[in-house]
């Protein structure tokens, strides 16, 4: 296996003068190709900041980030725009689907922006829609779909360009428990059937239990790590609950 994502001593400060906050404090970890990793932690632990610097939405103060071998901190904005378009897939809590486009047009949009031919676009659209079970929804508009169906369409849009890394920010946050379960089954399908490499931020232990690995942040540092290994989802869930409870203690940072 090869590393898709690698962070080395990443630090991020906000503010200036006498009011400075260290949101990320020397974070280092890597994600292998085909791995499904979740990031968890209390509010203010640095989860969203971490996702933002990996997504190139924000710049690190110091340290190195590599995605598929490309060094992000040294990229200029023009190159970053192309990198985000071609190498990253995004799934948000809000679906961010365009109301005036059909589901098929929404999913195809990243390929259209890359000026991929109509025949190749249709081929890729049919492929991801079939795997994610939304082939019969492509001619509908977002307002005609349930929240779960819209989020599945957002997943299809995120992976249609076959990105190196899929970033998901609280993807189940706007869904009820049943649609959340369906969405996570979709993530598992993306990961196992399509080989998608996924990094997901979540506050929900149930959602986190679907991942291969969970990294816990506290005060901008990696505080603990849980690996699924041979664990069942239920065992993973209970381990996540144990670590979450311990986050209130004074354990050493790893």
Cα 120 to chain centroid, rounded: 26
The fold adopted by the segment(s) 34-58+77-246 is: Rossmann fold (3.40.50)
The model's pTM: 0.90
With a cut of 70, say whether residue 249 has pLDDT above it: no
| Helix-helix angle 118-131:103-113, to 10 degrees | 130
The strand pairing partners of 32, in sequence order, are 3
Residue the block writes with tokens 């400060």: 13
Half-sphere exposure of 123 (CA within 13 A, CB side): 5
| Start-to-end Cα distance in the chain | 24
Read off the pLDDT of residues 60-98 as tens digits, 9 standing for 90 and up: 999 999 999 999 999 988 888 889 888 999 998 777 899
With a cut of 70, say whether residue 204 has pLDDT above it: yes
With a cut of 50, say whether residue 251 has pLDDT above it: no
191 to each of 158, 160, 212, 228, how far by Cα in Å?
A: 13, 13, 10, 15
């Amino acid at each position: 296996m090869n590393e898709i994502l690698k962070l080395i001593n990443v630090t991020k400060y906000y503010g200036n003068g006498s009011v400075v906050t260290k949101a990320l404090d020397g974070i280092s970890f890597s994600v292998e190709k085909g791995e499904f990793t979740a990031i968890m932690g209390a509010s203010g632990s640095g989860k969203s900041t971490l996702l933002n610097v990996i997504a190139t939405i924000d710049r690190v103060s110091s340290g190195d980030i590599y995605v598929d071998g490309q060094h992000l901190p040294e990229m200029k904005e023009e190159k970053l725009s192309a990198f985000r378009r071609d190498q990253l897939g995004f799934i948000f809590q809000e679906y961010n689907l365009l109301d005036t486009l059909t589901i098929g047009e929404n999913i195809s949009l990243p390929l259209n922006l890359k000026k991929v031919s109509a025949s190749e676009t249709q081929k890729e659209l049919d492929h991801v829609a079939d795997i994610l079970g939304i082939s019969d929804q492509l001619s509908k508009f977002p307002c005609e779909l349930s929240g779960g169906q819209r989020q599945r369409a957002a997943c299809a849009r995120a992976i249609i360009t076959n990105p190196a890394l899929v970033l998901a920010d609280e993807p189940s946050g706007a869904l009820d428990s049943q649609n959340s379960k369906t969405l996570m089954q979709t993530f598992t399908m993306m990961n196992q059937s399509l080989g998608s490499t996924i990094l997901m931020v979540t506050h929900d232990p149930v959602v986190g239990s679907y991942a291969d690995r969970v990294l816990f942040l506290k005060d901008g540092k990696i505080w603990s790590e849980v690996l699924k290994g041979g664990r069942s989802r239920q065992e993973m869930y209970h381990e996540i609950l144990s670590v979450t409870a311990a986050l209130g203690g004074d354990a050493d940072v790893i």
